[in-house]
Amino acid sequence: MDRTPRIGLVVPFATDRVPLEGPLMYPQASFVPRGVGVRSLTPAGYDAAWDGIVPAAKELAQGDVDAIMVIGTSLTFYRGSEAHRDLLRRLRAETALPVSTMSEAVVDGLRSLGARRIAVATAYAEEVNRRLADFLRAEDFDVLALEAFGLTGFGDAEKQSEQDIIDLAARAIGRAGSAEAVLISCGGLMTLNCAEPIERRYGIPVVASTQAAFWKAMHLAGTSGRVTGRGRLLAQAEPLAA
């Protein structure tokens, strides 16, 4: 691609704002957000935003964007694997653009690293964690252990420190015993600086929601998404097929 990648983002916020870590990862790209207003990290909170995803994507597609990414892991997995696949089909049909979700991005990230047996660390409370585990199993992953902050308030994930996140992932890895990767799930967690210290200490790769989503979005826009110094997922040189 000769021009600057321009990515449309369906975001869980009530306002049109870009997640902070995306431009830090890819300052060369341009991001156009449309908010759908998740109210809480609960099924009822996601229900408030679900019906807005496709209209927001259609609006973005009318602009000059190369691809669309739906930000929000739990927003896109909470209704299950089949509903997620149906959402992707609808988005692609309605926009006629390369489209993905944060949930698809973490799945693709784990698969790109050859990981099937995984430890999981999340921001969520029990019901959403159960739905995530079901989603991952439907995608053929073996969830060996899951540790969580137990949050339900929208915006609470952003208040967790990087050390808190690293410690939570460490507990999940310790409980798992023989994980091939650790998934850190929730786009609200600030994880940009978490992958490298976890990978150095435990020797397994990290897939975090925000990094996976922007990495996948860059692939959809026709670039490799490669970033050095941010963990194995982003260091991969080969672009992922859209």
Q: Which residues of 170-194 are buried (b: 16+ CB within 10 A; e: fewer)?
A: bebbeebeebbbbbbbbbbbbbbbb
Asked if residue 85 belongs to a domain, the reply is yes
> How many domains would you assign to the chain?
2
59 and 130 share a domain?
Answer: no
Asked if residue 144 belongs to a domain, the reply is yes
Beta bridge mates, 35: 11
The pLDDT of 60-77, averaged and rounded, is 97
Give the model's confidence band at 47: pLDDT under 50 very low, under 70 low, under 90 confident, else very high.
very high
Asked if residue 222 belongs to a domain, the reply is no
Interatomic CA distance for residues 194 and 225, integer angstroms: 18
55 and 95 share a domain?
Answer: yes
Q: Over the chain, what is the mean pLDDT? A: 95
15 and 89 share a domain?
Answer: yes
21 and 116 share a domain?
Answer: no
Residue 163 in this model has a pLDDT that exceeds 80: yes
Contact by Cβ (8 Å): 135, 76: no
Asked if residue 160 belongs to a domain, the reply is yes
74 and 96 share a domain?
Answer: yes
Residue carrying structure tokens 């996948």? 216
Between the CA of residue 173 and those of 29, 111, 114, 186, 236, what are the distances in Å?
A: 34, 18, 17, 17, 23
The enclosing domain of 180 has a CATH number of: 3.40.50.12500
pLDDT in tens, 175-213: 999 999 999 999 999 999 999 999 999 999 999 999 999
Q: What residue ranges in the chain does DSSP mark as E strands?
A: 6-11, 30-35, 67-70, 99-101, 117-124, 142-151, 181-185, 206-208
45 and 121 share a domain?
Answer: no
Pairing label, strands 6-11, 206-208? unpaired
192 and 118 share a domain?
Answer: yes
18 and 53 share a domain?
Answer: yes
Give the model's confidence band at 238: pLDDT under 50 very low, under 70 low, under 90 confident, else very high.
low
Give the model's confidence band at 3: pLDDT under 50 very low, under 70 low, under 90 confident, else very high.
low
Question: Among 111, 88, 133, which Cα is nearest to 181's?
Answer: 111
Amino acid 221: pLDDT: 94
27 and 118 share a domain?
Answer: no
Amino acid 15: pLDDT: 97
Asked if residue 224 belongs to a domain, the reply is no
Q: Which domain holds residue 158?
A: 105-210
123 and 79 share a domain?
Answer: no
pLDDT in tens, 104-140: 999 999 999 999 999 999 999 999 999 999 999 999 9
The model's pTM:
0.96
